[in-house]
Amino acid sequence: MALAPSVAAACPLGPGTVWSEYAGFGIKGYPVESVLSRPNVTLAVGTEAWAQEYEADGARTVGWHMRLSSLIGPPSQPLSRGAVTSKVPRLVQLARANTTCDPPWLVLNEMLAARLPEPLTRAQLRYRDNLYVLSRELAQRGVRVVVLLPRVPLSNTRYAGYWRRLSWKADLVFEAYSFSSRTAISRGEVAGRRYLQATWTESLRRLRPFVVRPSRMGIMIPYWSRHPISGRVGLSDTRWFRLTRMKVRATRNVAAAQRLGTVFSWGWGTNPVSGERDPDKPRTACVYLNERDPALCTP
């Protein structure tokens, strides 16, 4: 596949922090697509045709799989190891088809049961083992695996060794959704940014003992509108865009201080299924990109 010059010059992804935006369902075919799909932006996508279209616009792409449970089973009823390994060839193909650069990436959404009462049941242990086996097999075939975590493991877990073994095979990315938009914006620019940084840094501090090195750790920040706590919460355009910039600045500082390997954004979709109908979403995405680099978008 021929790459646009700006994309070819930017490959491979890394070695510094890689910023990537989820751009699958709810983004493709909606107005926000024209904002995100552009040179020097990396989009995570699960459909080869969409990846090709984004690359034609000059964007970079990485692979994404939306339903990890379909690959390893749910925690209550995990698949057999043979069923898991049988899916590996198709997933390698997906990662290669959807990633602009080498090595191919595959983001797995999302690991459940990261924080459960211990000891774990036999089924829960099998579920975790399935994820490790899947990550190991993909990594052995040259795929950079990224696992999304909605929860940080228990600090006093008896399974600390499991997490460190997993982090040899996969990046662990924490979904940093637990913050208050109202709290951040009410504190003003400096104090609000510090609030976000402190909130996210604390979560990463608890995750750090379970990863072999900081570059195996990442964070996902939501830019959704509808969520009653970390969404728009009735903010005017001016305050909403100000909060968007604060979140980018806070994320940049956290990523640098923690030496993160990846930063992901989530929530750009606008579709009836999710309820994310905010007509300002394209403008918000432009503000987001502009704060990262003024050359990316002009609000």
Exposed, middle or buried: residue 274 (CB in 10 Å: 0-12, 13-18, 19+)? middle
pLDDT by 10s per residue, the chain, length 299: 333 444 444 466 778 899 999 999 999 999 999 999 999 999 999 999 999 999 999 999 999 999 999 999 999 999 999 999 999 999 999 999 999 988 999 999 999 999 999 999 999 999 999 999 999 999 999 999 999 999 999 999 999 999 999 999 999 999 999 999 999 999 999 999 999 999 999 999 999 999 999 999 999 999 999 999 999 999 999 999 999 999 999 999 999 999 999 999 999 999 877 778 899 999 999 999 999 999 999 99
CB 260 within 8 A of CB 17: yes
5-292: CATH architecture: Alpha-Beta Barrel (3.20)
Q: What is the pLDDT of residue 11?
A: 61
Q: What is the pLDDT of residue 101?
A: 87
Alpha helices in the chain (DSSP H): 5-10, 33-36, 48-56, 69-72, 81-85, 88-98, 122-140, 160-169, 181-186, 188-207, 237-258, 281-292
Q: What is the pLDDT of residue 5?
A: 42
**DSSP class of 216:** G
pTM flag (> 0.85):
yes
61 closest CA partner among 29, 33, 90, 26: 33
Q: What is the pLDDT of residue 99?
A: 95
| Domain range annotation of the chain | 5-292
Q: What is the pLDDT of residue 160?
A: 97
Exposed, middle or buried: residue 246 (CB in 10 Å: 0-12, 13-18, 19+)? buried
